[in-house]
Amino acid sequence: MKNTILKTNLRNNQFTLGSWITIGHPSVAEILCQSDFDWLTIDMEHNAIDPSMMQTLISVIQSHGVAALVRVWKNDEVIIKHALDAGADGIIVPMINTCKDAEKAVSYAKYPPEGCRGVGLSRAQEYGNSFEKYKEWVKESSIVVAQIEHIDGVNNIDSIIKTPGIDGVIVGPYDLSGSLGCVGELEHDLVNNALKKVENSCLKNKIVMGYHIVDPDPLKVKRFVEKGYKFIAYSTDFLLLNSAIKSGVGDIKSQMLSPEDNSSQNK
């Protein structure tokens, strides 16, 4: 019915690679699905994707056998319910700063008695044709990932990762740096010290830790994997597009133009 491979990989602390969808068009999702990602996250926080397109993108992703996650824009009961009723395999919830935040996210994602999610029939339940089957899937295989992107979340990481129903965490580096007063300075000592605290806690407790590597740089992925990160988001759709275009155009111009032409263009 739904993807269970990603949940199994998270339980076993195995490496998975995903990316971020911010462009609301099915073709973008299809292209990324053909690139051997294990999961894709539809970002509903920082772009103009509407709920209708979110459901379309979920359907497209799942049709390729890839797990479809939704980064909801708020830790909110109705918002989380909409994403899961649309058929998402799981959610990434931003700004989880306390154990209470984590408990709320899990509760909003799970039906009673595990949570308080309201019951409605939509795509996830095959429009009423398989509610009982879906109910069991939600209990056993739906995914809730806590996004750690504030120093408060870092300071409370031990209690957050021990919250029942939390399958792993993923660090949002830009907002984390902002909460430390060094926005965008991802290599700042304050950021690195915060990451070490997350790493120590997750590794000690054998909880999956993730990181969103925004720059499309495979060497950065390697560096974080070597530190024990297992749930890696590799860049975003528009940055991957931008990188390919800049690289290709740069190569073309360097091959087609003489040194004199390049020199005159760069003046």
Q: From start to end of the chain, where are the E strands?
A: 16-21, 39-43, 67-71, 90-93, 143-148, 168-171, 209-213, 231-236
In the chain, the amino acid numbered 44 is: M
The residue with tokens 């306390």 is 98
Cα 110 to chain centroid, rounded:
19
C-alpha to C-alpha distance for 219 and 60, rounded to whole angstroms: 30
Q: CA–CA separation, 50 vs 25, rounded Å?
A: 11
Indicate which residue of 46, 64, 82, 188 is catalytic.
46
Question: 202 by DSSP, 3-state: which?
Answer: helix
3-state class (DSSP) for residue 7: helix
Told to judge if 46 belongs to the known catalytic residues of this protein, a careful annotator would answer: yes
Three-state secondary-structure class, residue 3:
coil
Can you tell me the distance from the alpha carbon of 79 to that of 210, in angstroms, rounded to the nearest whole number? 23
The DSSP 8-state label assigned to residue 123 in this structure reads: G
Q: In whole angstroms, what is the distance from residue 187 CA to residue 128 CA?
A: 49
CB 244 within 8 A of CB 32: no
As annotated, the active-site residues are 46
